């Protein structure tokens, strides 16, 4: 097996309907031969996983651009049909300038002898930026190799035995597999993580503020209670002091009363003893008085 060089390639493509358009006309353009490859361009059908309608997008002359967002998977179809001769095998790729932006060619890599149809590429934007493509621009490359022996009927790629023969639109089979959900793009995930981070940070700040307010409120109450307790203790001290003071004053008054009472008792006793002494004297006085009266009576007689 050998690869065709540029001159063989030009000859092959110029004199055979290998690169054709929608009208099955030879679409070979000499300037599209680059080194040993031929450039193929983007057609008007694409399917993007983040497309809201979940439908194949048909690009028009006025709307020729397609943006492939970071992290999104996209199906791209060539503008040209390729018809691979029975004695050839072709190899396909996406141009390096797209790959270097982060566009990964997921599908690949070969085109079978006997294949007729547009080529379908699946790509993934693994880069951080939007990659914009334009219809009719050359993004794909195809190389042709000679087989040592041409493929016979049963070995040729054919409509009867194969799926992609004659493909000119993006098959809905592939869409069904791709349209379930948006692809979880790393940058979208990063964005969501950022949003979640902001959300949780604001929640934590709110929670922190509310906790701080709660603590302040509790501290205020504790402080109020402390004042109240101190006040109650103060009042208790005053009451107890007053009670003890009153009690001691009462005791003192009682002691004084007892003391006074004892003094009175003592005086009473002295009075009583004086009285005891006075009574005989009174008796003597009364006898003296009686005697004097009698004397007087006698003298008057
Ligand atoms: O990226 C690619 C690779 C291949 N093809 C075309 C050319 C190829 O000859 C044909 C079949 O390729 P392959 O045998 O790899 O695919 P398949 O899904 O196994 O097809 P089939 O079941 O028809 O053999 O599909 C594309 O359009 N794009």
Tens of pLDDT along 117-165? 999 999 999 999 999 999 999 999 999 999 999 999 999 999 999 999 9
Model confidence at 227, pLDDT cuts 50, 70, 90, reads confident
Residue 110 Cα, ligand 1 centroid: separation in angstroms?
7
Residue 54: CB partners within 8 Å, gap ≥ 6? 175, 179
Hey, what are 199's tokens?
Answer: 């959300």
Tens of pLDDT along 159-206? 999 999 999 999 988 888 787 666 666 766 777 788 888 888 999 999
How much is the CA Rg of the chain, to the nearest whole Å?
A: 62
Positive/negative CA dihedral, 115, 10, 61, 130:
positive
Residue 236 Cα, ligand 1 centroid: separation in angstroms?
99
Whether the pLDDT of residue 294 is over 90: the answer is: no
Q: Write the residue with the smallest CA distance to atom 18 of ligand 1.
A: 163
- DSSP string of 249-284, one letter each residue: HHHHHHHHHHHHHHHHHHHHHHHHHHHHHHHHHHHH
As a whole number of angstroms, the distance between CA 4 and CA 38 comes to 11
Q: Write the residue with the smallest CA distance to atom 25 of ligand 1.
A: 164
Is-contact 68 57, C-beta < 8 A? no
Phi/psi for 44 (5° steps) reads -100, 10
Residue 186, ligand 1, Cβ within 6 A: no
Residue 163, ligand 1, Cβ within 6 A: yes
Model confidence at 14, pLDDT cuts 50, 70, 90, reads very high
Q: Could you report the predicted ipTM of this complex, rounded to two decimals?
A: 0.97
As a whole number of angstroms, the distance between CA 92 and CA 142 comes to 5
Quote the DSSP letter at residue 151. Answer: P
Buried b (16+ CB within 10 A) or exposed e, 176-197: eebeeebbebeebeeeeeeeee
Model confidence at 70, pLDDT cuts 50, 70, 90, reads very high
Kindly give the residue spans of alpha helices, DSSP state H, lying in 79-185: 96-99, 172-178
Closest by alpha carbon to 18, among 130, 111, 124, 155?
111
State the number of CA atoms in the 13 A half-sphere of 256 facing the CB: 6
Residue 289 Cα, ligand 1 centroid: separation in angstroms?
173
Query: pTM for this one?
Result: 0.69
Residue 111, ligand 1, Cβ within 6 A: yes
For a substitution probing ligand 1, which of 162, 169, 170 has the most ligand atoms within 8 Å of its CB?
162
* Helix, coil or strand: residue 157: coil
Query: Ligand 1: which atom is nearest the Cα of residue 163?
Result: 23
Residue 57: CB partners within 8 Å, gap ≥ 6? 45, 46, 47, 48, 51, 66
């Amino acid at each position: 097996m050998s690869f065709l060089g540029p001159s063989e390639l030009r000859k092959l493509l110029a004199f055979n309907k290998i690169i054709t358009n929608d009208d099955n006309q030879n679409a070979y353009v000499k300037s599209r031969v680059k080194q040993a490859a031929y450039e193929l361009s983007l057609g008007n059908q694409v399917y993007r996983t983040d497309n809201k309608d979940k439908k194949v997008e048909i690009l028009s002359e006025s709307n020729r651009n397609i943006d492939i967002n970071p992290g999104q998977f996209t199906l791209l179809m060539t503008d040209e049909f390729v018809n691979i001769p029975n004695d050839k095998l072709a190899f396909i790729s996406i141009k390096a300038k797209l790959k270097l932006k982060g566009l990964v060619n997921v599908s690949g890599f070969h085109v079978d002898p006997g294949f007729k149809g547009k080529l379908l590429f699946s790509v993934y934007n693994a880069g951080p930026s939007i990659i914009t493509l334009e219809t009719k621009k050359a993004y794909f490359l195809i190389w042709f190799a000679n087989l040592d022996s041409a493929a016979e009927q049963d070995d040729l790629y054919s409509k009867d035995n194969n799926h992609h023969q004659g493909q000119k639109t993006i098959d809905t089979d592939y869409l069904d597999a791709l349209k379930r959900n948006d692809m979880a793009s790393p940058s979208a995930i990063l964005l969501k993580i950022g949003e979640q981070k902001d959300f949780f940070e604001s929640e934590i700040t709110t929670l922190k503020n509310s906790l701080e307010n709660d603590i302040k409120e509790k501290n205020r109450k504790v402080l109020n209670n402390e004042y109240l307790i101190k006040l109650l203790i103060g009042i208790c001290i005053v009451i107890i002091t007053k009670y003890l003071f009153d009690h001691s004053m009462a005791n003192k008054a009682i002691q004084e009363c007892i003391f006074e009472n004892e003094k009175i008792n003592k005086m009473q006793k002295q009075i009583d003893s004086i009285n005891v002494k006075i009574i005989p004297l009174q008796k003597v006085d009364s006898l003296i008085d009686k005697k004097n009266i009698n004397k007087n009576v006698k003298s008057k007689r």
